[in-house]
Amino acid sequence: MNKKSSHKKTSKHRKQQTNGSQNKQKIDKPKKQYPRKKKKKIQPKRKNSRKKNNKKKNKRGRFIKRLFLELISAVILTSVLIWLISIVTFTFVKIDGYAMMPSLAAKETVFVSKLSEKKRFKLVAIKLADRKEIIIRRIVGMPGENIRYDKDRLYINNEAVEEKFIAEEIQQADISGSFYTKDFTSEQLFNENMIPKGKYLILGDNRPYSTDSRFYGLIDEKEIIGVVTMRIFPLHKMTKF
């Protein structure tokens, strides 16, 4: 019995020694060293708020710049398109002088349509070859017609035609014992019994002072820019003709 117990004690003691040595080996093993993660510096809230505000300001600035550029490009494109359309369809003319009184006064602006039909008594814009400015006059004689003025009365192909747009001026001239339009015939002025094809007789409404076909002859159709359809300035005198 004593031998068995002593044997058991020695075996237990050996096991304890082996276990202790193993534990010591485990403890003695060097631990693996891992690189330390750098701690992020926590910035104060004020700096973050400033950055956010700066970003917002930059975004607003970029948006305003973009909007401004888009507006400018839109205005430029629109003006170019209007200019291109105006070459073919319309233009604006500022009145110079008093030849069209009382219908139009100096410094007034009119809208001229390049597509409207040329008819008798229509106001037209004319660009003469020997003059820089554009003038406004009224068509009185059309191609193929004989024109005659006799005692302030207009005769077209020997038929009397009333000029309502200067009726008051003719009446005042009659009261004063004079004529608003001096007598003439197309044959006397142009050596033509009939107005040739492609030609027009134009007169100013201010007959005593107007320079028109009585001075520089018949007007070629190519010299007529277009028909005056509206007075647009001054605004309080805006009128459609």
CATH of residue 229's domain is 2.10.109.10
**Judgement on whether residues 187 and 69 belong to the same structural domain of the protein:** no
- Give me the mean pLDDT over the 98-106 stretch: 94
Output the pLDDT for position 78.
Answer: 86
Structurally, the chain folds into a number of domains equal to 2
Comparison of pLDDT for 65 and 38, the residue scoring more: 65
**Judgement on whether residues 221 and 141 belong to the same structural domain of the protein:** yes
**Judgement on whether residues 213 and 154 belong to the same structural domain of the protein:** yes
Please give the Cα distance from 202 to 100 (Å, whole number).
Answer: 12
Final residue of a domain: which of 88, 115, 137?
Answer: 88
Question: 175 is in which domain, residue-wise?
Answer: 91-240
- Give me the mean pLDDT over the 134-162 stretch: 96
Final residue of a domain: which of 88, 107, 137?
Answer: 88
Output the pLDDT for position 94.
Answer: 94
**Judgement on whether residues 172 and 226 belong to the same structural domain of the protein:** yes
Whether residue 154 has pLDDT greater than 70: yes
Output the pLDDT for position 26.
Answer: 45
Q: 88-101: per-residue pLDDT in tens?
A: 788 999 999 999 99
Note whether residue 6 is domain-resident: no
**Judgement on whether residues 64 and 168 belong to the same structural domain of the protein:** no
- Give me the mean pLDDT over the 99-109 stretch: 95
Q: 189-228: per-residue pLDDT in tens?
A: 999 899 999 999 999 999 999 999 999 999 999 999 999 9
Q: Are strands 90-94 and 109-113 parallel, antiparallel or unpaired?
A: antiparallel
Output the pLDDT for position 65.
Answer: 83
**Judgement on whether residues 99 and 189 belong to the same structural domain of the protein:** yes
**Judgement on whether residues 77 and 96 belong to the same structural domain of the protein:** no
pTM of the model: 0.68
- Give me the mean pLDDT over the 71-91 stretch: 83
**Judgement on whether residues 178 and 110 belong to the same structural domain of the protein:** yes
Give CA 99 to chain center in angstroms: 32
DSSP state of 165: G
**Judgement on whether residues 103 and 196 belong to the same structural domain of the protein:** yes
Q: 19-62: per-residue pLDDT in tens?
A: 444 444 444 445 555 556 555 555 555 556 666 666 666 777 78
Q: Cα dihedral angle (93, 222, 101, 204), rounded to 10 degrees?
A: 170
Output the pLDDT for position 31.
Answer: 52
The residue with tokens 């492609």 is 198
Note whether residue 162 is domain-resident: yes
The region that residue 177 occupies, defined by phi over 0 for left and psi between -120 and 50 for alpha, beta otherwise, is left
- Give me the mean pLDDT over the 149-173 stretch: 96
